[in-house]
Amino acid sequence: MTLLLLKSNESIVKMTQSIFEKQFIKDPKLEKDLDDRRKRLMLQDIYYNIDNLEAAILHDSEHIIVDYVNWLMGLLFYRMKHLGLDRIKTFMIDHYILLNEAVNSAMDEVYIEKAEKHINNAIEAIRHFELNNISYLDGIRLESQAKNYLEALLARDRQKASDIVITTLDNGATLEEVYVGLFRPVMHEVGNLWYKNIIAVDKEHYATAVTQGVMSQLYPRIFATPKNGRTMVSLCVGNELHEMGIRMLSDLFEIQGWDTIYLGASVPWESLISSLEEYNPDLITLSVTMPNYLSNCKETIDAIRKEKRFDHMKIAVGGKALDMGNNLREKWNVDVEATSYEELVAWTRIN
């Protein structure tokens, strides 16, 4: 029995609500510490925490829950600094204790044993959590251009952002250098600013949209690069919405001479099959950022492998969720699990 089965009859919603209510009984001060908006978000987070636990159990990966907890602890601190880190640690430990009690009352012994291991890992991660102040722009080769580009994005100046990129290219930077040394670190830094609660999600989305627009302006230059006769189909699996990374990867492979067909997110299985039949790619690249979509990724891989006509196509997987996955490359029928564009392109040169 798994928590996924509970979702079908809304028991998971009841479990979420029960944990939420018991948290306030266990810690009455939360009633005053959290405003109405934060209480709503807390209820939502409990659901996500259950989902993350399920992913860790399904894929037998302690990294999934530990990485998630470390990410969540920072997110909560930056949004509730008035409580202090120790206070946040206390109620998060209380939360996982309550989650463990809920699992014990609803699941079978095998599941309880697996869940308890991951919940204990989560609690230890909370106890040892420390804030790390990260900047993705300091010390990179295109540091001044990247910082000016970020400044233009945050000022909502699309023209200036575009001009900075074009000028950088005209001054001798290659397309690859602009993607890897400007777009990539700036997008990481935009996400970092949202994470630290310095900018709201609307600015994060705006920065992404503007960057996608600037990338489109570069397509005449990208498509002019000599072709090597190889083709790649790329997509995000399931309902994964974090598609910027795989889109940039597709453009970078186009710069390397590949013909790339980027399908985006939420691609129906029938449409993927149609694309593979039409384009006959040498490489299929699947991206997954959120751990709860790892199962969708494996299902997609298994379905492709069952089709003998696609046997000659190689499959690559990547994305943050795979970084947490305890060497899924060894468990899944894929040809390569890459942590970066550089790693994947190097692999394709010898395979």
- List, for residues 44-63, the tens digit of each pLDDT value: 999 999 989 999 998 888 89
pLDDT in tens, 106-137: 888 999 999 999 999 999 999 999 998 889 99
Q: Would you say residue 8 has pLDDT above 50?
A: no
316: alpha, beta or left? (left if phi > 0; alpha if psi -120 to 50): beta
Q: What's the CA angle centered on 326, arms 321 and 332, to 5 degrees?
A: 80
Separation CA 316–CA 318 (nearest Å): 7
Q: 143-220 falls under which CATH superfamily? A: Methionine synthase domain (1.10.1240.10)
State the CATH architecture for 3-128. Orthogonal Bundle (1.10)
What is the pLDDT confidence band of residue 291, given thresholds at 50, 70 and 90? confident
Single pTM value for the model: 0.92
Q: How large is the average pLDDT for residues 275-295?
A: 93
Residue 10 backbone phi and psi in degrees, to 5: 70, 10
Question: Which pair of structure tokens corresponds to residue 170?
Answer: 């005209």
Count of alpha carbons within 13 angstroms of residue 12, beta-carbon side: 18
User: What tokens does 256 get?
Assistant: 């390397």
CATH number of 226-350: 3.40.50.280
Tokens of 185: 């670190």
- The answer to whether 231 and 177 are in contact (CB under 8 A) is no
Instruction: Give the sheet arrangement for strand 259-262, strand by strand.
Output: 259-262, 231-236, 283-287, 314-318, 336-337
* Tokens, residue 293: 């979509």
- CA dist 338 and 229 (Å) reads 22
Torsion on CA atoms 275, 276, 281, 287, rounded to nearest 10: 80
Tokens of 190: 């935009």
Domain residue spans of the chain: 3-128, 143-220, 226-350
Question: Closest Cα to residue 247, out of 215, 218, 271?
Answer: 215
Query: Is the distance from CB of 183 to CB of 174 less than 8 angstroms?
Result: no
pLDDT of residue 326: 59
| CA distance between the termini of the chain | 41
Average pLDDT over residues 263-279: 93
**H helices of the chain, where?**
3-7, 11-26, 30-33, 36-58, 62-79, 85-106, 109-127, 143-154, 158-170, 175-178, 184-195, 201-217, 219-223, 244-255, 269-279, 294-306, 320-323, 341-348
108 CB burial (10 A radius; 0-12, 13-18, 19+): exposed
Task: Tell me the pLDDT tens digit for each residue of 183-220.
Answer: 999 999 999 999 999 999 999 999 999 999 999 999 99
β-strand partners of 314 = 283
